[in-house]
Structure 1
């Protein structure tokens, strides 16, 4: 089949969310910048998902459309309504306060993609906000969407980054920017919560039916479709968070309004990839009590799912929902241990492998070992009893403790007749060499603030394939400098 390359004007829109009752959203157009918007970066991989000719990015209209000053035929802009639990406290109304759903595109393969313009100006749900995004936060989201996709983690995608010379105040005065976020759906747990707490059960059921028909069509004819739908959301969420834990990534603001109903990583604010391994890592300096610390994410996933379960009580017996929630712990532990076994290069699955990986993580925490670097280097482990594995030992304050663990690891490899070279190939496919460390993102931000956007595209290209060796980019795999280890990020980031 020959794929049609579309222009901006010929994109195929089918705005199903806009056909829901207006209680679900507010119709609102983006607010243009007062200065002319300009393209900072366009993501070719994302344009291909839309069947959009990448040469369209060179047109001034491209920056106009995705900078909020132009609309193209088929767009029906709206701000989505939702509520949510923020840091454990229910907030009765949230909604898209600085993002606008421009429309829903259908590509030639029948895939659907929301175009969500973030930083588009005020909406009826902005509360006291100005509806804008700053360049700093837009760059962080733009890069991390694609970094997570490169790691194989379900996520929203990023189409492009558009800048302006408009001034926006956050913790300081910065320039405004927009990012186009793409996903099959931007419906969140909080989208259900608002109708449940308003006791608008007819709207709640309409939303559930819409989501099932649009994204879980195999459940449409099933008698207990709402329960089965919830079960699939639970499984997707468990697998998602298990993958975050395996790569050492922390979201930072796991409120229910930031939880995707499709199990996607949604809303990149004060996220962080760990440098030194610290199970209690808190990436958000606004999270004073550590509610969303790295080691709390699995529990918070369950807490948020219980909030979603509550919204389904009008349609599903409580005991059935509880039975599904009771399965969450086993799901996330099983998915996480599968990741850890793969990171260790093990082929056969054995119960004792959990102890082996837990012992290693304990040693890593005690020596503040760099999480990404060590796992990548573990692929070089020699199972030869005479080998000292000096390069690996150097990571630990007490190398003899590592030696004891290495002996147990060597025996485990021998038990399944593992071959070192084959194992290293497997391990390099699951232990990334490159991740978007905060200091790398900060370097791109500082250059961009000086109108140099080359580092953004350089990182974008690198992070698309984080498992491969890129010899010219080896410095990007190094441990961060001291200034880059504890960069402060907050909800405005």
Structure 2
């Protein structure tokens, strides 16, 4: 007999002002089928993963049953989408089942994506094709393994139904987990309506939930803004350091808790080029790799706008305070980015020469059209002046001779010549633990999606399993380290709406 599904819901958002959401049950699907349950994440949330894989569990994951303690809602928000203001968005195909307290003591949302229409669907069908569900599962879990703050995937199920987009696809539902789904756009929705009571309710909730150290402050809302600015500066620096391109950095896709959210038209850059764009709808390159820090800064300005009356009763003073909080973003971002990038080169302190070497290395990568991820990873194999060892990543992806001069100066700055074998090995391990070798490369994700559309989830499971250890090179899976061949390249990605 299968064990009954128990999800230890402890719901807080639903107790707030009902202007923030609408009660909405998921719409049942025709024939739910399990694709995968994330066992470690389920256990973190106090859920038995075996029970979640039972018929009862799959029905809950598909929206055909509502678990005891669940209080399903769809949340409302607004946002700037590609710079254009949309006064009302909201969870058009997502339903928040409730919240749980994890074994780490933190509060988490449990949400179904693709669970049917809501009051905010805006003529959408509320469903998701299989492809975006598989993509988000793969990439969000890879981001987690890379140490980047992110929403996560608890489970994925098929629906037994078809979804019409530019073609007809199998339907699926993702169970997404986040520290919360409160967005810059959530604040914008109420700020634009001058509903300052709702803005204050939201701000107090965010402070209590994400930043409790602020609660005793004499200026809690200013500190909230300052803290979100800091978190976003750190997050975007982490994106840049691994070549991650979000693809749709609208204000409704920026969580105030500092996690990466929405893995629609996202991808990892291969040949280094700061102008790289993947999103099929980003025709002007607004959300190109190089633009992500500036866009984050722009988004934060709209959060500040929504908080102004809470910062100070005098508008001029409030604007000055907001400006001061925002103006530190570029410096904060640059500090985080420089530190991370210099660490990728083996330098613990980002001094003047390490920074110069970092800039020159990126210039060489662009000139030679080298793969961003592998070029950093193989540095561990170039610590000695000899050729990379047989079977190493460096042998599989050798750097061109045009980098030899740079490599010599890099080794000199690290002081490699004066290191003994133990010190050299420690440095090599540090480089390997900082620079991943496995990433969810676009063509591999597409391979998993196409197989899934045919009912074969083997490539999906293999990729998810491999990406749980992105820093550990496994020669048996060396084909997964390489960028796409010209005939394999996926240059545009799509969201599921």
- TM-score where L is the length of structure 2: 0.93
**Residue 347 of structure 2: aligned partner:** 346
**Do structure 1's residue 195 and structure 2's residue 190 form an aligned pair?**
yes
Aligned residues: 482
Name the CA distance, whole Å, in 2 between partners of 1:106 and 1:50. Answer: 7
Q: 1:415 to 1:60 in 2, by over 3 A?
A: closer
Structure 1 residues 380-459: aligned runs within 5 Å: 380-384=381-385, 387=386, 395-396=399-400, 399-400=401-402, 402-414=403-415, 417=418, 419-459=423-463
Which residue of structure 2 aligns with residue 264 of structure 1?
259
Alpha-carbon distance in 1 for matches of 2:424, 2:41: 37
For the 8 Å contact 1:253–1:491, the answer to whether it is kept is no
Question: Once the 2 structures are TM-superposed, how far is the Cα of residue 307 of structure 1 from its aligned partner?
Answer: 0.8
Match of 2:19 among 5, 23, 28: 23
Q: Once the 2 structures are TM-superposed, how far is the Cα of residue 109 of structure 1 from its aligned partner?
A: 4.2
Deviates more, 1:349-358 or 1:236-245: 349-358
Distance 1:8 1:343, change over 3 A: farther
**Relative to structure 1, is the Cα distance of residues 56 and 406 closer, same or farther in structure 2, using a 3 angstrom cutoff?**
same
Distance (whole Å) between structure 1 residues aligned to residue 329 and residue 240 of structure 2: 15
Q: CA deviation at 1:388?
A: 6.4
Distance across 2 between alignment mates of 1:332 and 1:7 = 48
Which residue of the partner structure matches residue 3 of structure 1? Answer: none
Work out the CA distance in 2 between the residues paired with 1:488 and 1:109. 38
2:60 to 48, 65, 90: 65
Q: CA deviation at 1:482?
A: 2.0
Name whichever of 449-458 and 193-202 sits farther off. 449-458
User: 2:315 maps to what in 1?
Assistant: none
Query: Which residue, 238, 244, 258 being the options, matches 1:243?
Result: 238
- Assess, with a 3 A threshold, how the Cα gap between structure 1 residues 393 and 112 changes in structure 2: closer, same or farther: closer
Do residues 146 (structure 1) and 141 (structure 2) align?
yes
In the alignment, which residue of structure 1 is the partner of 2:202?
Answer: 207
- 2:443 paired with 1:466: no
Greater CA drift, 247-256 or 41-50:
41-50
Match of 2:178 among 183, 197, 204: 183
Q: How far apart, CA to CA, are the structure 2 residues paired with 1:311 and 1:81? A: 15
Does the aligned pair in 2 maintain the 1:190–1:257 contact within 8 Å?
Answer: yes
Inter-partner Cα distance in structure 2 for 1:265 and 1:238:
12
In the alignment, which of 297, 305, 308 is matched to residue 303 of structure 2?
308
Deviation at 1:449, TM superposition (A): 1.4
3-state SS of paired residue (1:314): helix
- Please, which runs of 5 or more residues in structure 1 have no aligned partner? 1-5
Q: Is the 8 A contact 1:84 1:256 kept in 2?
A: yes
Contact 1:41–1:162 (8 Å) recurs in 2:
yes
Query: Residue 39 of structure 1 aligns with which residue?
Result: 34
Give the distance between the partners of 1:393 and 1:136, measured in 2 at CA: 30
3-state SS of 1:286 partner:
coil
CA-based RMSD: 1.9
Match of 1:98 in 2: 93
Question: Whole-Å Cα distance in 2 between the matches of residues 144 and 138 of structure 1?
Answer: 10
Deviations 1:234-260 (A, max 9, x none): 111011000100001100000000001
Distance between the aligned counterparts of 1:290 and 1:204, measured in 2?
32
Rounded to whole Å, the distance in 2 between the matches of 1:271 and 1:393 is: 25
Residues in 2 aligned to 1:135 and 1:376: alpha-carbon distance in whole angstroms: 32
Equivalent of residue 217 in structure 1, options 197, 209, 212: 212
Rate the CA distance shift 1:412–1:318 in 2: closer, same or farther, 3 A: same
Q: Is the 1:8–1:52 contact (alpha carbons within 8 Å) kept by the matching residues of 2?
A: no
C-alpha displacement of 1:462 = 1.1
Shift of the 416–198 alpha-carbon distance from structure 1 to 2, 3 Å rule, reads farther
Q: TM-score, normalised by structure 1?
A: 0.94
Task: Decide whether the 8 Å contact of 1:156 with 1:181 is kept in 2.
Answer: yes
1:383 and 1:413 in contact (8 A); partners too = no
Correspondence for 2:358: 357
